[in-house]
Amino acid sequence: MTTARFNLRRRAVALVTAAAASLGGSALLLAPVAGTASSHREAPAIAADPLADNTDTYAFVSPDDADNVTLIANWLPFQEPAGGPNFYYFDPEARYYIHVDNDGDAKPDISYRWTFKSDYKTTGTFLYNTGPVNSLDDDTLNFTQTYTLDAIKGDKTKTLVSDAKVAPSYVGDASMPNYAALRDEAIVGIKGEGRTFAGQADDPFFLDLRVFDLLYGGDLSETGTDTLNGFNVQSVALEVPSKHLTRKKDPVIGVWSTTERRSSNVVNADGTREASGDFVQVSRLGNPLVNEVVIPLELKDAFNSLEPENDASVAAAVDRVNDPELPKLIEQIYGIPAPKTPRDDLFAVFLTGIEGLNKPKGEVTPAEMLRLNTSIEPTDDPDRLGVLAKDTAGFPNGRRLEDDVVDIALQAVEGAVRTGELVEALATGDGVDVNDVAFGDSFPYLALPHSGSMTAGAGAASSAPSGGIDAGGGGTAAGNPRGVLANGGGPANQQQGLPVLPASLAVLGVALGAAGLVSMRRSRSAS
């Protein structure tokens, strides 16, 4: 029995490799899945472990300093801002990573590891804070977290910061009258290495997923709203000189994030937990939408434990990329001609990098991860469609916060990378072109989290914080210099979530429907 189970899991890992290699080539999965959005609750096991759940990974040349690269990874999706009394935190029993491959072999050459500690000043109260909090050192902040950041290169580990303070959950305006100042306090300099941040932030992913309401209301009236508006995530951000990430004369790096837990966890009768055994990978995130859109339910957990160096271990993966199924389905249902095969364009986008843009020099091991050419300087006027709009500083060359990866991915599947021209029938995409809150012009660039004081709940337009440079690092004080769509809408928070269709169907439905081809998710269902 043990051998049979082992063989079954090994086969699952092999199959998931093939599936992971075929983003844009997978059949639409109509069975219920427990996932929504880029990689929010995308697999059964991780849906039950939100503190370890990767949501999105970003890698881009810093817009205010072209000599630096910013790496961002988010966890714990669908945070209702008023979700007290315990609110949100990083798990001290987990290890959070951002990995960098700088030689194209799909193995981490540098791994940045965040580990956290939690502390209560008193457990004699139910309150997260016992009065207004104006500083991270205030006695009124009852629950606090600190972290250690290590840089791992081979068998050598260097501690970059220790006992660094985590920005707390934004309990509300009475409790935290100047949250932006608290965020600024949580930005920590690293001698010779850049700076780091850990704490709560607005969820930067944006799209409309009301496809489930009879295809956007049955008459395409329900489009153009960011249904992820109003929710927060836990974020880590790291700004590093690019010279510390690249190797020799190759400016291209691969980036992905993971979470590790100990292999055994025991819950005692008194509710305490004990963890033992080796640390094992339980979540993984490189390119957006891969595990949710591509991987079928039975293989999702296996993919989360798979290391990128094994992604190309199944020969069938190449066939799935070169002859994908999704464009054929689009042609069959909507009449948009499928691009001719073989699809070497998709293979490059998702597995090796694009020649002349972000493909590493020398031999490259095909693997699913973000690939960033650090020599391409940022633009003062970023285009949401990135490379497809001739803005080579954007996705799929790394991923910026403002990149509209849903519209980009749909265009790529329909051949825009190969032709260099956008598919006009899909030009409107899902109608959500920007985030609900402005991103910042300085590190960590993430928008401030939504306040627990908001009265309408997550998903409502009134929830957006003013956020700001003057109001604190990472947001925009006023106006909309980097592009923001102040849309409302979005479903009420649903803690466990309901079975839903995969995001690929949502993206497909909204884009084609908005194009007038009437027929036929990242549902901001709350966690």
Lowest-confidence pick of 41-50, 171-180, 193-202, 421-430: 41-50
- Mean per-residue pLDDT, 79-105: 95
Give per-residue pLDDT as tens, 389-436. 999 999 999 999 999 998 898 899 899 999 999 998 888 877 899 999
pLDDT exceeds cutoff 90 at 213:
no
So what's the pLDDT on residue 39?
52
pLDDT exceeds cutoff 90 at 305:
no
Give per-residue pLDDT as tens, 352-381. 999 999 999 999 999 999 999 999 999 999
pLDDT exceeds cutoff 60 at 29:
no
Neighbour count for residue 419 (Cβ, 10 Å)? 12
**Tokens 């993966």 -> residue:** 317
The 3-state secondary structure of 221-256, one letter per residue: CCCCCCCCCCCEEEEEEEEEEHHHCCECCECEEEEE
> What Cα–Cα distance (Å) separates residue 282 from each residue in 4, 19, 421?
22, 18, 39
pLDDT exceeds cutoff 70 at 521:
no
Sign of the four-CA dihedral 480, 39, 261, 352: negative
Stronger pLDDT, 41 or 193, i.e. the higher one: 193
> What Cα–Cα distance (Å) separates residue 484 from each residue in 336, 411, 435, 476?
31, 22, 5, 10
Contact (Cβ atoms closer than 8 angstroms) between residue 283 and residue 258: yes
Give per-residue pLDDT as tens, 259-274. 999 998 888 898 888 8
Number of H helices, E strands in the chain: 11, 12
The letter for the amino acid at 423 is V
**What contacts 379, CB < 8 A, 6 or more positions away?**
391, 393
pLDDT exceeds cutoff 80 at 207:
yes
So what's the pLDDT on residue 41?
44
Stronger pLDDT, 324 or 139, i.e. the higher one: 139
Stronger pLDDT, 180 or 521, i.e. the higher one: 180
Sheet containing 68-79: which strands, arranged edge to edge?
54-61, 68-79, 232-241, 194-202, 188-190
pTM equals: 0.79
What stretches of 45-177 adopt beta strand conformation (E)? 54-61, 68-79, 95-101, 110-120, 143-153, 156-165
Give per-residue pLDDT as tens, 495-520. 333 223 333 333 334 344 444 333 33
So what's the pLDDT on residue 209?
67
So what's the pLDDT on residue 28?
31
So what's the pLDDT on residue 219?
44
Residue 229 phi, psi (nearest 5): -60, 130
For residues 86 and 270, what is the distance between their CA atoms, to the nearest angstrom?
19
Give per-residue pLDDT as tens, 45-71. 556 778 888 999 999 999 999 999 999
Structure tokens at 23: 């983003």
The letter for the amino acid at 147 is Y
The letter for the amino acid at 148 is T
Predicted confidence band of residue 23 (pLDDT cuts 50, 70, 90): very low
- Mean per-residue pLDDT, 283-287: 91
For residues 60 and 358, what is the distance between their CA atoms, to the nearest angstrom?
12
- Mean per-residue pLDDT, 471-489: 34
For residues 417 and 133, what is the distance between their CA atoms, to the nearest angstrom?
50
pLDDT exceeds cutoff 50 at 492:
no
Residue 215 phi, psi (nearest 5): 55, 70
So what's the pLDDT on residue 298?
64
So what's the pLDDT on residue 155?
95
CA angle 122, 167, 79 (to 5 degrees): 90
Longest dimension (CA), the chain: 67
Predicted confidence band of residue 491 (pLDDT cuts 50, 70, 90): very low
pLDDT exceeds cutoff 50 at 22:
no
Contact (Cβ atoms closer than 8 angstroms) between residue 256 and residue 308: yes
